[in-house]
Amino acid sequence: MVRLIARRLVISVAVLWLVTLLVFVATLLLPGDPARAILGQQATPERIAALHAQLGLDAPVWERYLNWLGGVVTGDLGTSTASQGPVAELLGGRIAASLVLLVLAAVISTAAGLALGTWTALRRGRRADHAVSGASLVVAALPEFVIGVALVVLLSTTVFPLLPSVTLAPPGEPVWSRPSQLVLPVLTLVLVVAPYITRMMRATMSEVLDSGYVEMARLKGIPERLVITRHALPHAIGPVAQVIAIQLAWLAGGVVVVEFLFRYPGVGQALIDAVNNRDVEVVQAITLLIAAVYIVVNLLADIVGILTNPKLRSEVSR
Amino acid sequence: MTTQVAVRHALVVADLRVETVTGTPVLRGVSYEIAPGEVLALVGESGSGKTTAGLAALGHFRRGLVPAGGTVTACPRDGDPVPMLELDERQRRSLRGTTVAYIPQDPALSLNPALRVGRQIAEVLEAHGYGASGAERAARVAEVLTEVGLPGDEAYQRRYPHELSGGQQQRVGIAMAFACRPSVVVLDEPTTGLDVTTQTLVLRTVAQLTAEHGVAALYITHDLAVVASIADRVAVMLGGEIVEAGTAEEVLRRPQHTYTRELIDAVPDLDGGGEQARRAPEGSATPALAVRELSVAFGGSPVLRHVGLTVGEGECLLLLGESGSGKTTLSRCVAGLNDRYTGTVALDGRPLAASTRRRTAEELRAVQYVFQSPYSSLNPRRTIAQSVEVPLEMLTDLDRAQRRERVAATLERVRLDPALAGRLPDQLSGGERQRAAIARALVTTPRVLLCDEVTSALDVSVQATIIDLLCELREELGTAMLFVTHNIALARHIADRIAVLQGGEIVESGPVDEVLTDPAHPYTRELLANTPRM
């Protein structure tokens, strides 16, 4: 098992390295010149050349890549071209704010999806099952900005004006100090992600409930609660973990749109600002961060898959 | 049914009716009773309702089935008889595993793959509060494992089901059922899928446990030969009804109902057959199929070692072997489906290319394959006629009308109703599907027909008709046949010669009569000794 997990780890690191290459090349291809973006249209060629030298933009591409990669590995994400401050400092608060959003959405949607999927699988063919299946299909079909706008209309403007529709974060005060303004962004993300998890859980759980070992557990006289938690759930979790991983990885990217919609001061907002300002260093850092979330989440799903499958667990090598 | 009778018996089922939720009857008034220490065999073919009747003894009905009348009365070891169907789900649960226990058909599917086997047995004890302490329960787990002939030690209990062989898995299933000392066990085809040696071992374990502990056993099976070796009484089911019941001796020796007689006649018997006119192997002529020095290794471990065999024109060679002996690999090599082998496969003396891709159309027409499961070998989206026509399209220059004619003629040859030609496979029964698969193989008039376990997915009576069909076709067409099977009892019914494959090597071969009456290899002797006879 350790070897299997170690292999996955090595693959993850390799993928992450490939991503750094892609990110670097992509920012090279970004139109516009950072020096010109900083100095404005009136700058003289001499000043631009001087700034190029100062920013290291004259060095060959591979040297710039290695310098940047070395910085990333040692935790130095570079200096923001737009604000002239260190990127890490600039993003610190943003990352924390986005993480709060992501973790809340991930925990709630996973728990709700698994519970709802299991519950409907146990009531297959009954009215509750049809209702949940229909509703989840409808919600799953809606893009996140439609859900977000619908929630704003429903809960913060005309119908029930209960919650704030935009996030007001005075400098120096973390967003979570006013929990009510987290509700709508989190709810939007949950509504986007949970239906997939619910549907997948229902399908997998239905299959597991029809399996020989679940019937056998019932015929052994095991209490129904234990039949579900001990015999059925562990087998359903493995395949569903993959879907959860894809959904959570999507969250890392989907957060950009949702943060924009609710004016939430997270990395998504920062990314949009950075792209507008040609702030290459920040764009690189955020893209890499989102990619890293993708990879880590998928790695976790693989590990869950391995842990819930004793055949893989005891396999010496593959 | 008086109370007195109910007290004497461990299980009484009276006039049990079960139907689907849409109202189609599945059981039409089934009655049986079993005394402590007695084994009642419930015999019938797929779809006769025997599993439904067995599960009803535990008050369990599969999805879509509901009880529609009748009673099930189980008698716990110490206590009054309880009417199973009148209890609520909670009360039924407390009787399952303690009073009535179940041993499933396929242990590979019924054991939880993620739980250690010791845990799965201990779980039954915990659920029913058996024993006063954890230590007492642990001792019982070890004891019951020893009772079924497995090591009861800690290391063994910590294994996962996939680390056990099929026979060991089934004995874990039996241990699980006997753990709480039930008064009734329901065994649902517990030896289907096991090889004969393991089957004998499992049957012996069951017989011993039921006799020792005075347990009433309901043994569900379609294999009458097994019935003869284990059952005290037999009940024969047909279409949701018991059509005949009596002691095993009565039912098997003097069957009353025509259906029972048909079933008994269909059972392949080591001593039976005989009517097949066996031809002497023609030594001089070139054999239709010759395999020489064939070896295959998968990932370094040898699967076949220097296998050699010949099949003459119009001859049938029975290739006998248990699961894992390499018999399917061998037939796939002959067919060209597995091209990673060394050695030669020759057709009429000419060596064939290893892969089907490099064989000529003529060679492809000459070697045809019938697969084990007619349920998965026919394309579900093609009609039978379309499926049978495919080889003609690919391998011949016949025009459409000629192909149609050939298809119709071949379907008639395998005695398949012409009305079925336009149907899809799932509208056919298992036997009809296998006939269609045989037609597809015969449509190119092959020189060599490879039959890979073609009857093992079928009911006994269907198996008999397929065997008869293959024999007739061989007579008529003079096809050389390699009949691959694990069932030595079929030998006299179909084959002229036998080759016994064990661990990738042919350990014995010769004419059927010679091998069956005077087996030279200990493995063949063991197989013969373990094959149940009527």
**For the segment A206-217, what is each residue's pLDDT rounded down to a tens digit?**
999 988 899 999
Tokens representing residue A270 in the block: 């920062």
CATH architecture of A89-314: Orthogonal Bundle (1.10)
Helix (H) or strand (E) holding B499: strand B497-502
Task: State residue B253 phi and psi, 5-degree precision.
Answer: -90, -40
Interhelix angle A267-276/A233-262, nearest 10 degrees: 50
Average pLDDT value for chain A: 83
What's the burial of A43, exposed, middle or buried (CB within 10 Å: 0-12/13-18/19+)?
middle
**DSSP helix/strand/coil, A160:** coil
Is there a contact between B94 and A310 if contact means CB atoms under 8 Å apart? no
Summarize the confidence of residues A103-130 as an average pLDDT.
Answer: 91
pLDDT at B3: 44
Instruction: Please give the domain boundaries of chain B with CATH numbers for all domains.
Output: 7-266 (3.40.50.300), 289-377+446-530 (3.40.50.300)
Provide the β-strand partners of residue B219: B41, B187
Question: Distance (Å, rounded) from C-alpha B240 to C-alpha A110?
Answer: 46
Output DSSP code: residue A244: H
What's the burial of B4, exposed, middle or buried (CB within 10 Å: 0-12/13-18/19+)?
exposed
Q: SS3 letters for B370-405?
A: ECCCCCCCCCCCCCHHHHHHHHHHHHCCCCHHHHHH
B2, pLDDT greater than 50: no
Residue of chain B nearest A206, judged by CA positions: B63
Residue A186's identity, in one-letter code, is V
Residues 6+ apart with CB under 8 A from B90: none
pLDDT at A171: 65
Helix residue ranges, H only, B372-511: 384-395, 400-413, 430-442, 460-477, 491-494
Lowest-pLDDT choice from A190-194, A304-308, B69-73, B236-240: A304-308
CB distance B460 to B487 below 8 Å: no
Side-chain half-sphere exposure of B40, counting CA atoms within 13 A: 28
The more confident residue out of A287 and A169 is A287
Using CB atoms and an 8 Å cut-off, which of residues 206-235 of chain A contact chain B?
210-213, 215-224, 226, 230-231, 234-235
Q: Read off the pLDDT of residues A256-285 as tens digits, 9 standing for 90 and up.
A: 888 888 888 888 888 888 888 777 788 888
Question: Distance (Å, rounded) from C-alpha B210 to C-alpha B212?
Answer: 6
Tell me: ipTM over 0.90. no
Question: Distance (Å, rounded) from C-alpha B507 to C-alpha B501?
Answer: 6
Q: How far is CA B461 from CA A307, B216, B465, B486, in A?
A: 46, 29, 7, 18
Instruction: Please tell me which of the candidates B94, B114, B162 has its beta carbon nearest to residue A221.
Output: B94
Q: Which of A122, A207, A219, A317 to mutate against chain B (most B CBs within 10 Å)? A: A219
pLDDT at B48: 85
A110, pLDDT greater than 50: yes
pLDDT at B114: 86
Q: Read off the pLDDT of residues B432-455 as tens digits, 9 standing for 90 and up.
A: 889 899 999 999 989 999 999 888
B129 min Cα distance to partner chain A (Å): 11
Side-chain half-sphere exposure of B232, counting CA atoms within 13 A: 15
CB distance B372 to B457 below 8 Å: yes
Instruction: Give the Cα-Cα-Cα angle A170, A172, A178 (nearest 5 degrees).
Output: 55
CB distance A232 to A214 below 8 Å: yes
B488, pLDDT greater than 90: no
Tokens representing residue B128 in the block: 């029913």
Is there a contact between A221 and B128 if contact means CB atoms under 8 Å apart? yes
Cβ contacts of B85-94, under 8 Å, gap ≥ 24: B85/B56, B85/B59, B87/B59, B92/B58, B92/B59, B92/B60, B93/A218, B93/A221, B93/A222, B93/A223, B93/A224, B94/A221, B94/B128
Lowest-pLDDT choice from A17-31, B179-193, B229-243, B308-322: A17-31
Average pLDDT value for chain B: 87
pLDDT at A318: 35
Sort out which chain A residues have CB atoms less than 8 A from B110's CB and list them.
Answer: 212-213, 215-216
Q: Which of B65, B93, B164 to mutate against chain A (most A CBs within 10 Å)? A: B93
Question: If you count them, how many residues does chain B have?
Answer: 534
B522 min Cα distance to partner chain A (Å): 35
CB distance A198 to A189 below 8 Å: no
pLDDT at B133: 87
Closest CA to B367 of B382, B375, B384, B355: B355
Sign of the dihedral through C-alpha B2, B5, B11, B12? negative
Give the CA dihedral A100, A106, A108, A110, nearest 10 degrees. -170
Domain ranges of chain A: 2-73, 89-314
Provide the β-strand partners of residue B241: B238
Provide the β-strand partners of residue B318: B483, B498
Lowest-pLDDT choice from A89-93, A146-150, B219-223, B403-407: A89-93
pLDDT at B55: 92
The more confident residue out of A168 and B479 is B479
Q: Read off the pLDDT of residues B349-375 as tens digits, 9 standing for 90 and up.
A: 889 988 888 899 889 999 999 998 888
Q: Read off the pLDDT of residues B264-305 as tens digits, 9 standing for 90 and up.
A: 888 887 776 555 445 544 544 678 899 999 999 887 788 899
Instruction: Please tell me which of the candidates A211, A222, A234 has its beta carbon nearest to residue B123.
Output: A222
CB distance B363 to B347 below 8 Å: yes
Cβ of B519: how many Cβ atoms within 10 Å? 20
State the Rg of chain B over Cα.
26
Q: Read off the pLDDT of residues B384-437 as tens digits, 9 standing for 90 and up.
A: 999 999 999 988 888 999 999 999 999 988 888 888 899 998 888 888 889 899
Sign of the dihedral through C-alpha B231, B232, B236, B242? negative
Sort out which chain B residues have CB atoms less than 8 A from A235's CB and list them.
Answer: 112-114
Helix (H) or strand (E) holding B8: helix B3-8
Sort out which chain B residues have CB atoms less than 8 A from A308's CB and list them.
Answer: 114
Q: How far is CA A140 from CA A236, A246, A290, in A?
A: 21, 14, 23
B169 min Cα distance to partner chain A (Å): 13
State the Rg of chain A over Cα.
24
Q: Read off the pLDDT of residues B509-522 as tens digits, 9 standing for 90 and up.
A: 999 989 999 999 99
Task: Annotate A161-184 with b (16+ C-beta within 10 A) or e (fewer).
Answer: eebbbebebeeeeebeeeeebbbb
Within an 8 Å CB–CB cutoff, is residue A83 touching chain B?
A: no
Q: Read off the pLDDT of residues A228-257 as tens digits, 9 standing for 90 and up.
A: 999 999 888 888 888 888 888 888 878 888
